[in-house]
Amino acid sequence: MSQLTVPTNIIVSPVLDGDVSSGANIAASKLQQQRFLSTSFNLDRGDTPVATHSTVCIASNSGTLKTFTCSLADTGTTTNVNYDLKVNGSSVLTAVVNITNSETDDQGYGGTITSSAISAGDVISIDLAVTTSTGALGPFAQVVFNETAVS
């Protein structure tokens, strides 16, 4: 078995609390927190999807939307639902994420974010539009948001 040689310019371990001097004075602007904002639209996993709107966050600071993923626990027999990620009431996706009965149960389907910049005070929300939902159950959506730390 050969041994892996790591180049000297690559950090091979995370920076831990003890690695930073208490007097280092690291600016909060250099820190981020990754937030997982999710909603089941106030429905249980066994509930049929209905058209609704869910506010998932009011941003405390600026940041970047990273990913948007949606699913149905059961895609049913005659299903056509759309998920839309919005900031301040306007879509930030190239197109809504459409899930039909031909999709896989409990499979995450992603949307492409076109406008990812977030400012403090922006309202991040997710809309669920339902054309048909026969047999469909358990809508879920999640957005990953990297937010700068509070200064």
Low-confidence winner among 20-34, 43-57, 60-74, 108-122 (lowest mean pLDDT): 20-34
pLDDT tens digits for 68-117? 999 999 999 999 999 999 999 999 999 999 999 999 999 999 999 999 99
Q: Is the pLDDT of residue 28 over 90?
A: no
Q: How much is the pTM?
A: 0.81
For 121: left if phi > 0, alpha if psi spans -120 to 50, otherwise beta; the answer is left
CB atoms within 10 A of CB 143: 25
Low-confidence winner among 10-24, 58-72, 88-102 (lowest mean pLDDT): 10-24
Q: How confident is the model at residue 9 (pLDDT cuts 50, 70, 90)?
A: low
Q: How confident is the model at residue 26 (pLDDT cuts 50, 70, 90)?
A: confident
The proportion of the chain whose per-residue pLDDT surpasses 70, expressed as a percent, equals 84
- Give how far Cα 41 sits from Cα of 48, 84, 135, Å: 11, 13, 17
Predicted pLDDT of residue 101: 97
